Amino acid sequence: MVMSRQDAELAFVREARVGRLATIDSQGFPSVVPFCFALLPGPEPTIVSVLDEKPKRVADGELARVRNIRMHPSVGFVIDRYDEDWSRLAFVQGRGIARMIEAGDPMHSGALAALRDKYPQYRTMMLENRGMIAIAALRLRSWRGDGQPF
């Protein structure tokens, strides 16, 4: 069975360990941070990322990415694969609409389960009451170093 391009791009995203999330600040400047994420399946695939327990200089609600999403929900991200053999280079670039989800949101528990399944580090963190970023309305573009379609 041959996968569609979108299915191949989503499979690449699903398997990747880290990406770079871009948001826009109040002055219109981009801000890019690495992020861990999970891809939730469904008729409208959604990327989720939890505001985890890693050390931060400010409270979760004051993080630049959170403030930026609340002001400008349009976001971008890049998930890539680097290899010294440049024919193996690949990336998926995405755009979507982000929103913050809090504990009690119907999506929160399923998103947390997906993140814990993907990242063993999250299994020991108390994340049940932590906010999350959910990115939906995904539009994807991709490229591969071997010149083949995704």
Report pLDDT digits (tens) over 106-132.
999 999 999 999 999 999 999 999 999
The average confidence (pLDDT) of the chain is 96
Predicted pLDDT of residue 149: 87
Measured between alpha carbons, how far is residue 131 from residues 41, 60, 105, 109, 140 in Å? 20, 8, 10, 11, 25
Q: pLDDT over 70 for what percent of the chain?
A: 100
Q: Is residue 133 a contact partner of residue 48, using CB atoms and an 8 Å limit? A: yes
5-142 CATH, one of 1.20.140.10, 3.40.50.970, 3.30.70.20, 2.30.110.10: 2.30.110.10
pLDDT confidence band for 145 (50 / 70 / 90): very high
Predicted pLDDT of residue 134: 98
Helix (H) or strand (E) holding 91: strand 90-101
pTM for the predicted model, two decimal places = 0.94
3-state secondary structure of 38: strand
